[in-house]
Amino acid sequence: MTDAMTDGRTDLRVGDGSDGMVGPFGSRLLHGWYATGGPADVEEHLGRYGPPPFPRTADAAGRLVRAVEDAGLTGRGGAAFPTGRKMRTVAAGKGTAVVVANGMESEPASSKDETLLDLAPHLVLDGIALAAAAVGADEAHLCLPRTRQDQARALREAVEERRRLGLDWVPVVVHELPHHYVSSEESSLVRRLNGGDARPQATPPRPFEKGVGRRPTLIDNVETLAHLALIARYGPGWFRGAGRPDAPGTTLVTLSGALHTPGVYEVPMGLPLDEMLDIAGGASQPLGSVLLGGFFGSWLPAEQALRLPFAKPDLAALGAGPGAGVVVALPAHVCGLAEAARVLDYLAAQSARQCGPCRLGLPAVAADFAELAHGRCDPRQLQRLETRVGLLAGRGACRHPDGASRFAATALRVFADDVHQHLRYGPCAAAGYAPVLPLPHTPAPGERDWR
């Protein structure tokens, strides 16, 4: 049995293991869903896992942080920073800490966080409460995009259930924030929770130093916190029972593109990409390339990508990374330049427009790329595009220009044959095909749309 979940962008399938889609690898975060076919309420959740093992003393809090360190848990929101190290830094900060769970998921090609919050909400809420206890926080927040009002309502009801049972260390406040691409950046969350716009702000100080209320703030992706809830119960050795020694645990991935059963799946870290795509039914047509990590990610040729393990050390050697667990399989017959041009136009429109690279550089790159994909670009224009792409990275107040630069640069490299064909003959017929990469139908944010 599989259950198809639709979010308006793509059909998301969650397997129960009975058809071999997930079975060989087991499940952890989504175990309850696989067992019953539905999300658990708080009573069923407690019956399955028991109450969260809150640390009641400073020594116990330290042991929980060490367990997360020993487990090797890294952030599942994109940066893959060691979670235990971040917790230890916040716990040692000056002042009482704050915990923020990031469920914004502004990456259009990802739906893992939304799926997790639908199917295992109490694991995420456990993780928030445990993290708060471990770092000594007296305040906890869960940030969602305001486009998911039904989910926000359900989570507020879950929080209220837990409050009546006296279950959590600190109460969790659910927030609905503007849903723009850069609004999921951690400094955007801090800025909005402090009463400002949901736009990135310059750092330092970093949130772990001075975040919400200028207090030390632990910001973690919701999947990361759900893993923490299981590590607290079962220990670091159990967590390392999946994955590899240098890439432990499981992770949620959103698999889309030319696949028979695209959707959200839980897989062990380090699983080769060809085996990962087999979980989603395998390729539905010959593949030309793969996008790893989403719109801030990297393009790789399919024949190269499919041999790779899905783990940061292996992907980093090729300038790629797992990112937010996004894998898009692009068919060989599709024009990669046209796909990339659409994404770059979206990224340019979604910028905060607070600094030069986003106000001037990124729109110029998007315009040049559109001309290459759909117009009559000449070698001098291509050289200008390559120069502009190289100037984007490292110059912005946030990582938006960096991610766009990586996406554009790898597209130019992987689709080099298409570049030469477009320069010589103009746009190819495939440039007009139906798009593969998902893009939300949202206008560019105006000045009033950030609050």
CA–CA separation, 84 vs 86, rounded Å? 5
pLDDT beyond 80 at 446: no
Q: 355 or 137, which is more confident? A: 137
Q: Is the dihedral of CA 247, 252, 256, 258 positive or negative?
A: positive
Q: Which whole number is the average pLDDT over 157-167?
A: 95
pLDDT tens, position by position, 395-420: 777 889 999 999 999 999 999 999 99
pLDDT tens, position by position, 103-147: 999 999 999 999 999 999 999 999 999 999 999 999 999 999 999
CA–CA separation, 50 vs 302, rounded Å? 44
293 neighbors 322 (Cβ within 8 angstroms): yes
Domain 336-435 has CATH 3.40.640.10: no
Closest CA to 437 of 331, 284, 320, 311: 331
Q: Can you list the pairs that 444-450 forms with residues at least 24 positions away whose Cβ atoms lie under 8 Å?
A: 444/349, 444/350, 445/178, 445/180, 445/350, 449/178, 449/180, 450/178, 450/180, 450/183, 450/197, 450/198, 450/199, 450/352
What b-and-e string marks burial along 28-64, b requiring 16 or more CB atoms within 10 Å of the CB?
Answer: bbbbbbbeeeebbebeebbeebeebebbeeeeebeeb
Q: 25: pLDDT confidence band, cut at 50, 70 and 90? A: low
pLDDT beyond 80 at 37: yes
pLDDT tens, position by position, 309-336: 999 999 998 989 999 999 999 999 999 9
Listed by start position, the domains of the chain span 28-239, 336-435
pLDDT beyond 90 at 11: no
pTM comes to 0.92
pLDDT tens, position by position, 359-403: 999 999 999 999 999 988 899 999 999 999 999 988 777 889 999
Closest CA to 90 of 135, 123, 59: 135
Q: Please state which CATH class domain 28-239 belongs to.
A: alpha beta
3-state secondary structure 330-359: EECCCCHHHHHHHHHHHHHHCCCCCCHHHH
pLDDT tens, position by position, 272-297: 999 999 999 999 999 999 999 999 99
CA–CA separation, 106 vs 117, rounded Å? 15
pLDDT tens, position by position, 168-221: 889 899 999 999 999 999 999 999 999 999 999 877 888 999 999 999 999 999
